[in-house]
């Protein structure tokens, strides 16, 4: 089965707090890609990162960082010093060869950052 | 450099009608994917087009069909509309199926 679980439905933080969004995935394939997208109220999905299954190196991009752990099938996303503009719905997605590379999305996590 | 553009932005239809949604991919992209996003849920993959052919399909009935034109633009057609078809329909383009997809703003379809 190919599945993405984002257990956190909604998270509220105060500006400048750090916040981690969890993502757990399932696939039998050894070759796969993981993605994170941001969906602001306007509706457009904004691509944040792509990671392939052979690269477990963590990545940092400004205030964003990603922790990929194959041992726990997790691909978590941390925002450091959150800002009000970070408020959005965040989706984790999986694409695996066993399912013809169809992209499967999690249900999303609503992040609310209050000033 | 225009990104992915979708039309119309909003659409209201009644049950049993048919609808066509349109998508122009980002310049240089040749692969177009369509997703349905119901309120409060993640996008669900409908199908993907490449070289004017449907290459992949998700778990959607045959009422959902599509087309890709030689200029890589695409249409999504839905026949015999049901109330449950009310959703945001997103189009995404990419250079290949596993490359980062760029999404349009979507078409919000409401079925009365």
Q: Which residues have a Cβ under 8 Å from the Cβ of B46 and sit 6 or more positions away?
A: B33, B34, B35, B36, B57, B58, B60, B64, B66, B76
| Integer Rg of chain A from CA | 14
Is the separation of the CB atoms in A91 and A108 below 8 Å?
Answer: yes
pLDDT given at position A44: 86
Q: A22-53 burial, b for 16+ CB within 10 Å, e for fewer?
A: bbbbebeeeebbbbbbbbeeebbbebbbbbeb
Q: What is the mean pLDDT of residues A16-25?
A: 98
Taking only the tens place, the pLDDT of each residue in B53-77 is: 999 899 999 999 999 999 999 999 9
Q: Residue A52's closest chain B neighbor by CA?
A: B98
Using the Cβ of A35 and the Cβ atoms of chain B, whether some distance falls under 8 Å is answered with yes
As a whole number of Å, the end-to-end CA separation of chain B is 37
**Is residue A43 scored above 90 in pLDDT?**
no
Cβ contact (<8 Å) for A44 and B48? no
Q: Does the beta carbon of A88 lie under 8 angstroms from any beta carbon of chain B?
A: no
Pairing of strands B31-37, B44-50: antiparallel
Highest mean pLDDT among A50-54, A101-105, B24-28: B24-28
**Has residue A59 got a pLDDT over 90?**
no
CA–CA separation, B79 and B73 (whole Å): 20
For residue B43, the 8-state DSSP code is -
Tokens at A54, concatenated: 């052979």
Position B7 confidence tier, pLDDT thresholds 50, 70, 90? very high
- Distance separating alpha carbons of residues B74 and B18, to the nearest angstrom: 17
- pLDDT, position A101: 74
Asked if A7 contacts A109 with a C-beta cutoff of 8 angstroms, the reply is no
Instruction: Please report the pLDDT score of residue B76 as a whole number.
Output: 98
Q: A interface mutation test: which of B39, B98, B99, B102 has the most A CBs within 10 A?
A: B98
Mean pLDDT, residues A76-104: 91
């Amino acid at each position: 089965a190919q599945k993405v679980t984002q257990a956190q439905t909604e998270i509220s933080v105060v500006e400048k707090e750090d916040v981690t969004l969890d993502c757990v995935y399932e696939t039998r394939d050894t070759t796969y890609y993981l993605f994170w997208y941001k969906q602001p109220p306007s509706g457009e999905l904004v691509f944040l990162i792509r990671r392939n299954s052979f690269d477990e190196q963590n990545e940092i991009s400004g205030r964003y960082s990603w922790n990929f752990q194959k041992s726990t099938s997790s691909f978590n996303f941390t925002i450091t010093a959150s800002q009000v503009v970070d408020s959005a719905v965040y989706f984790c997605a999986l694409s695996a060869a066993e399912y013809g590379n169809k992209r499967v999305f999690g249900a999303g996590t609503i992040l609310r950052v209050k000033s | 450099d225009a990104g992915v553009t979708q039309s119309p932005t909003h659409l209201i239809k009644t049950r049993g009608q048919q609808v066509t949604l349109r998508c122009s991919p980002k310049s240089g992209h040749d692969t177009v994917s369509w997703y349905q996003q119901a309120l409060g849920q993640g996008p669900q993959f409908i199908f993907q087009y490449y070289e004017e052919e449907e290459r992949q399909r998700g778990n959607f009935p045959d009422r959902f069909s599509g087309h890709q034109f030689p200029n890589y633009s695409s249409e999504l057609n839905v026949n015999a509309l049901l109330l449950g078809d009310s959703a945001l329909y997103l189009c995404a383009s990419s250079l290949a199926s596993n490359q980062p997809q760029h999404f349009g703003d979507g078409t919000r379809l409401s079925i009365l």
